C-alpha cells in the first residue's frame, strides 16, 4: 500500500495530472483515475485517508470496479483545438466547456484531455518548454569531475558535481560530493532547497540509480528514501523518461553552464579538501547567477527574485534526517537483527515481515505502514535492546521477579517461608535458577493458603529440605497438616550416585563368593 498512499498524496497536490502521478508512482494512469474517482465518490479528505491502516485503505480503494464502459460520443475536432490553444488566454478548460455546450453527451474533461494528449503525440513536433514559476527544479550530476588531492598521501580522488536548475528563472545551484550514493544525492537536494530558500512543486531528476530503482520510459520506480525526502518537503518526484533529453533540457543546459563557467576555471587549480572546493564553487556560483543575460534584461538572480522565489513552498521547520529502509522478518524471540544487534518488536509480529527505518541514531519498525516500535541505535554486536511492552505476559512476569519482590512476599507468609526463600536464593550458582525456583513457590502460594504454605516450609526447614520439589511433595501429600514428630524419618535423598534398595534386590548385582561388589 506504500504506492497507493503516494498516489493519494500526489492527488491532493495542486497542478498534478493523472499521467504525471502515474509516471511518478510506477502505475497506470487508469489506476490513478480510479483512485481519484473513488475518493471523490466517498467524499474522503487527505487527512482521513492518512489515518486509515493498510487494510481499511485497501477496502476503500477496491470498492471501485473500474471505469464504465465507453460509449460512442461526438469526437472533438482536435486539429481546430490545437490551433485555438496557440491563441493567448485560450485553455483546454475553456475549449472543453464549449465542446460540452454543443455536445452535452460528449466526453468529460479528463477523457477530453487524455484524447487530446494522445492526438498531439502523433504530431512530430519539437517545441520550447515553458515552465511555471516555482513549479520545477531539474537535478543531475555533471559528467565532469574535479580531482581533490590528499595532502598527506598525495593521492587524488575525483569529486562529483551536483547541479540543480529552477525551471522558470534558470537560477542555478551546484556543489561537490565524494560520490553519487543515495546519502550524497539526498543531502545535495536538501542543500539546494536551503540555497533556494524554498521548495518547488516538482523535482525532475534523471534516472540515476541512487534515486530511481528501476529506470523505465513510462513507469520508473522511486527509491523509498528518496520518496520520503519528497514527502518531508511536500514535493513530488517526476523522473525524466529514458532517452528523452527534452524532458530535462534545463538540467542539461545547467550542467553545460556549470562546466563552462565554473569547472573550466578550475582546470589548472589543485584542491586539497572537499570543503575548499565547495567554497570556490560558491564564489563562482554567485557570479554566474548575477551575470546579465545576453538577449534579455536582468540575470538569473533578478529573474529568480521576480518569478520562482515568491511561488516556492516554505521550507519545513524540522530539517530532513536521512534514513535507509530495509525489509526483514521477525524471529521467534520477537527481535529483529541489524548490524549484529537485536531490537524487540511486539511479540504478535513473530514471523511477519516488517520495514526498518534506520537513521544514524534511531531504529524504527513499521508494519503495514504503522510504526510499531522504535529504539535508539546501538553499536554493541550481539547485544539486545528489549522493551518490556513487546514481551508476552508470561515473559514479563518472570522479569518482574526480583530478590526484593520475592523477599517481601515470603515475609508476608511467615518466618519459615522466608527462611526457605533465603536458603534457595543463596544456594544456586546463577540468579536465574533461584528466581525460577522461587517463582514456582510463589505460584504454589496462589493455590494453597498462607497457613499451609508456612506449615510446609516449617517441615522443610526441620528436615533440611528447602527446595521447590520438596515443598510441592509436602503440599500434594498433605504432610503439612500433620504434626512433626521427633522420630519421623526425613525425606528420601535422591541422587544419581545412590543405588537404592532395588539395586541390591536384583540377583544380577549380587557379589560372587569371595568377591566384592564393585
Count the helices and strands in the chain (H runs, E runs).
21, 15
Identify the domain boundary among 395, 424, 454. Answer: 395
User: Are 10 and 235 a contacting pair, CB within 8 Å?
Assistant: no
Q: Are residues 391 and 406 in the same domain?
A: no
Q: Are residues 253 and 144 in the same domain?
A: yes
The predicted structure's pLDDT at residue 251: 57
CA 257 – CA 288 distance, rounded (Å): 9
3-class DSSP assignment, residue 346: coil
Mean pLDDT throughout 281-301? Answer: 86
Say if 317 falls within a structural domain. no
User: Locate cell 515553458: which residue?
Assistant: 130
Say if 68 falls within a structural domain. no
E strands, 223-367, in order = 236-237, 324-329, 335-338, 341-344, 353-358, 362-367
E strands, 192-296, in order = 202-205, 212-214, 221-222, 236-237
pLDDT higher than threshold 50 for residue 214: no
pLDDT confidence tier of residue 275, bands split at 50, 70 and 90: very high
User: Locate cell 535423598: which residue?
Assistant: 493
User: Are 278 and 175 a contacting pair, CB within 8 Å?
Assistant: yes
Least confident of 211-225, 273-287, 403-417: 211-225
Total domains in the fold of the chain: 5
Q: Are residues 178 and 256 in the same domain?
A: yes
The predicted structure's pLDDT at residue 83: 62
How do the residues of the chain divide into helix, strand and coil, expressed in percent and rounded to 5?
Answer: 45, 15, 40
Least confident of 128-132, 281-285, 329-333: 128-132
Say if 112 falls within a structural domain. yes
CA 385 – CA 365 distance, rounded (Å): 13
The predicted structure's pLDDT at residue 494: 52
Mean pLDDT throughout 487-512? Answer: 54
Of the candidates 391, 365, 361, 386, the one whose C-alpha atom is nearest the C-alpha of residue 376 is: 361
Mean pLDDT throughout 61-73? Answer: 54
Q: Are residues 268 and 335 in the same domain?
A: no
Q: Are residues 252 and 209 in the same domain?
A: yes
Identify the domain boundary among 395, 418, 445. Answer: 395
Q: Are residues 111 and 151 in the same domain?
A: no
pLDDT single digits (tens) 449-498:
999 999 999 989 988 888 888 998 989 988 888 887 755 555 555 545 55
CA 506 – CA 509 distance, rounded (Å): 6
pLDDT confidence tier of residue 286, bands split at 50, 70 and 90: very high
Identify the domain boundary among 375, 395, 415. Answer: 395
Q: Write the CATH number for 237.
A: 3.30.420.10
CA 52 – CA 39 distance, rounded (Å): 13
CA 7 – CA 1 distance, rounded (Å): 10
Q: Are residues 170 and 292 in the same domain?
A: yes
The predicted structure's pLDDT at residue 503: 57
Q: Are residues 179 and 265 in the same domain?
A: yes
Say if 503 falls within a structural domain. no
pLDDT higher than threshold 90 for residue 107: no
Q: Are residues 258 and 297 in the same domain?
A: yes
Say if 67 falls within a structural domain. no
pLDDT higher than threshold 70 for residue 127: no
Domain residue limits at 429: 401-481
H or E element at residue 120: helix 109-121
pLDDT confidence tier of residue 325, bands split at 50, 70 and 90: confident
Strands 202-205 and 384-385: unpaired
User: Are 367 and 357 a contacting pair, CB within 8 Å?
Assistant: no
Least confident of 106-120, 215-229, 254-268, 352-366: 215-229
* Burial environment of residue 303 by CB neighbours within 10 A (0 to 12, 13 to 18, 19 or more): buried
Give the rounded distance of the alpha carbon of 421 from its chain centre.
49
CA 398 – CA 434 distance, rounded (Å): 12
Give 217 or 17, the one with higher predicted confidence: 17
The predicted structure's pLDDT at residue 67: 42
Give 41 or 409, the one with higher predicted confidence: 409
Q: Are residues 306 and 340 in the same domain?
A: no
CB atoms within 10 A of CB 314: 10
pTM, rounded to two decimals = 0.54
Q: Are residues 149 and 212 in the same domain?
A: yes
Say if 243 falls within a structural domain. yes
User: Are 160 and 145 a contacting pair, CB within 8 Å?
Assistant: yes
pLDDT higher than threshold 70 for residue 162: yes
Say if 446 falls within a structural domain. yes
Q: Are residues 369 and 419 in the same domain?
A: no
Say if 495 falls within a structural domain. no
72: which 3 cell numbers? 460512442
Q: What's the mean per-residue pLDDT of the chain?
A: 79
Amino acid at each position: 500500500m506504500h504506492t497507493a498512499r503516494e498516489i493519494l498524496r500526489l492527488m491532493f497536490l495542486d497542478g498534478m495530472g493523472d499521467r504525471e502521478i502515474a509516471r511518478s508512482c510506477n502505475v497506470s494512469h487508469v489506476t490513478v483515475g480510479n483512485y481519484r474517482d473513488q475518493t471523490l465518490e466517498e467524499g474522503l479528505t487527505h487527512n482521513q485517508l492518512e489515518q486509515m491502516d493498510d487494510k481499511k485503505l485497501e477496502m476503500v480503494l477496491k470498492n471501485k470496479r473500474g471505469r464504465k464502459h465507453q460509449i460512442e460520443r461526438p469526437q472533438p475536432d482536435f486539429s481546430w483545438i490545437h490551433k485555438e490553444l496557440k491563441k493567448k488566454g485560450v485553455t483546454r478548460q475553456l475549449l472543453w466547456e464549449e465542446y460540452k455546450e454543443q455536445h452535452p453527451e460528449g466526453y468529460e474533461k479528463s477523457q477530453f484531455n487524455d484524447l487530446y494528449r494522445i492526438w498531439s503525440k502523433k504530431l512530430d513536433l519539437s517545441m520550447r518548454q515553458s515552465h511555471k514559476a516555482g513549479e520545477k527544479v531539474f537535478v543531475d550530476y555533471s559528467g565532469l569531475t574535479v580531482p581533490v588531492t590528499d595532502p598527506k598521501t598525495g593521492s587524488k580522488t575525483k569529486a562529483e558535481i551536483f547541479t540543480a536548475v529552477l525551471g522558470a528563472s534558470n537560477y542555478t545551484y551546484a556543489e561537490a560530493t565524494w560520490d553519487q550514493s543515495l546519502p550524497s544525492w539526498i543531502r545535495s537536494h536538501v542543500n539546494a532547497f536551503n540555497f533556494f530558500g524554498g521548495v518547488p512543486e516538482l523535482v525532475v531528476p534523471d534516472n540515476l540509480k541512487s534515486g530511481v530503482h528501476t529506470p523505465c520510459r513510462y513507469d520508473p520506480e522511486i527509491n523509498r528514501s528518496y520518496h520520503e525526502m519528497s514527502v518531508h518537503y511536500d514535493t513530488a518526484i517526476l523522473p525524466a523518461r529514458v532517452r528523452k533529453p527534452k524532458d530535462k533540457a534545463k538540467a542539461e543546459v545547467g550542467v553545460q553552464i556549470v562546466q563552462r563557467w565554473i569547472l573550466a576555471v578550475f582546470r589548472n587549480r589543485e584542491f586539497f579538501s572537499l570543503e575548499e572546493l565547495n567554497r570556490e564553487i560558491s564564489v563562482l556560483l554567485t557570479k554566474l547567477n548575477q551575470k546579465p543575460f545576453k538577449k534579455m534584461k536582468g540575470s538569473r538572480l533578478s529573474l529568480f527574485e521576480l518569478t520562482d522565489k515568491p511561488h516556492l513552498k516554505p521550507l519545513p521547520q524540522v530539517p530532513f534526517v536521512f534514513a535507509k529502509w530495509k525489509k526483514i522478518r521477525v524471529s521467534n524471540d520477537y527481535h529483529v537483527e541489524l548490524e549484529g544487534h537485536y531490537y524487540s518488536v511486539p511479540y504478535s509480529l513473530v514471523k511477519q515481515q516488517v520495514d526498518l527505518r534506520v537513521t544514524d541514531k534511531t531504529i524504527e519498525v513499521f508494519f503495514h505502514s504503522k510504526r510499531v516500535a522504535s529504539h535508539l541505535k546501538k553499536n554493541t554486536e550481539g547485544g539486545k535492546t528489549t522493551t518490556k511492552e513487546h514481551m508476552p505476559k508470561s515473559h514479563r512476569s518472570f522479569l518482574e521477579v526480583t530478590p526484593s519482590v520475592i523477599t517481601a512476599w515470603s515475609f508476608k507468609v511467615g518466618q519459615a517461608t522466608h527462611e526457605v526463600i533465603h536458603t534457595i536464593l543463596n544456594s544456586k550458582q546463577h540468579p536465574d535458577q533461584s528466581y525460577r525456583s522461587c517463582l514456582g513457590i510463589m505460584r504454589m502460594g496462589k493455590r494453597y493458603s498462607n497457613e499451609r504454605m508456612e506449615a510446609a516450609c516449617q517441615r522443610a526447614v526441620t528436615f533440611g529440605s528447602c527446595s521447590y520439589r520438596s515443598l510441592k511433595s509436602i503440599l500434594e501429600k498433605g504432610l503439612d497438616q500433620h504434626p512433626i514428630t521427633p522420630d519421623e524419618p526425613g525425606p528420601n535423598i535422591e541422587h544419581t550416585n545412590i543405588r537404592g534398595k532395588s539395586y541390591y534386590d536384583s540377583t544380577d548385582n549380587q557379589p560372587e563368593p569371595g568377591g566384592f561388589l564393585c
